[in-house]
Amino acid sequence: MYGIGGLVFLLALSSSLAQNATHSQIVAGMDKLFEVVDINNNTFVELTELEAAWERFDADGDGRVSEAEYEQFGTDHTYRGIIFQEMDYDGDGYVGRAAIMGEYTVMDTNSDNTVSRGEFDKYYTALVENAILNYGHLLG
Ligand SMILES: *[C@@H]1O[C@H](CO)[C@@H](O)[C@H](O)[C@H]1NC(C)=O
Ligand SMILES: *[C@@H]1O[C@H](CO)[C@@H](O)[C@H](O)[C@H]1NC(C)=O
Ligand SMILES: [Ca+2]
Ligand SMILES: [Ca+2]
Ligand SMILES: [Ca+2]
C-alpha cells in the first residue's frame, strides 16, 4: 500500500483520530479529506489534483518526498509516522513521484479512469486501517 493522497490526509487529520478510532470515524475523516483534495469541486479526484497535493511536500524539488519533508506539515508526528511507514511501500525512506500514478490506478477500482468519492474514501480508509494494523503498536 502506498499513497500520495495520504500525505494530504494528514493535513486535515485531527490528532483525536487515535489507534482506537472506529471504522466509521475513519471513513468520515477520509470523506472530509476528499473535499480537500478535490480542488475543482467536480466530485472526482483527478491525477493532477493528487500531483498538486504531493508537490506541496517536495520542498527541495528532487522528485521524492522524504520523511523530513513530510514531517514539516502538521504536528501529530507519532500518528503521522505510521502513515508514512505505510506509504513508503518499498521502505527506502521516500515516497516518490512514480507512486502517484500507481496509486491512482489502484484507487480507480472500476477502471473508468477517474476516481470517485466512494473509490477515494474506500482506498484511504483501507490505507489508514492497514497503517494502524501494521504500526499501531508504535502509538502511545
Ligand atoms: C480511545 O481510548 C481512549 C482511552 O483509552 C479514550 O479516551 C478515547 O476517547 C478513545 N478514542 C476514540 C476515538 O474512541
Ligand atoms: C470549492 O469549494 C470550496 C468549499 O466550498 C471553496 O472554498 C472553493 O473556492 C471551491 N473551489 C472552486 C474551484 O470552485
Ligand atoms: Ca476534482
Ligand atoms: Ca524531496
Ligand atoms: Ca473509477
Go through the domains of the chain in sequence order and give each one's CATH number: 22-135 (1.10.238.10)
Alpha helical stretches, state H, the chain: 5-12, 23-37, 47-55, 67-71, 77-87, 98-107, 117-135
Q: Can you give the pTM of this predicted structure? A: 0.75
pLDDT digits (tens, 9 = 90+) for 57-103: 889 999 898 888 887 776 666 666 777 777 777 888 888 877 777 78
Binding site membership of 20 for ligand 1 (Cβ less than 6 Å): yes
Q: What angle do CA 45, 32, 29 make, to 5 degrees?
A: 120
Tell me what pLDDT residue 1 has. Answer: 37
Cα 45 to ligand 1 centroid, rounded to whole Å: 32
Between 35-49, 79-93, 115-129, the lowest mean confidence (pLDDT) is in 79-93
Tell me what pLDDT residue 4 has. Answer: 45
List, in order, residues 6 or more apart from 34 with CB less than 8 Å away: 45, 117, 120, 121
Binding site membership of 18 for ligand 1 (Cβ less than 6 Å): yes
Between 19-33, 95-109, 126-140, the lowest mean confidence (pLDDT) is in 126-140
In the chain, the amino acid numbered 18 is A
**Whose grid coordinates read 499501531?**
136
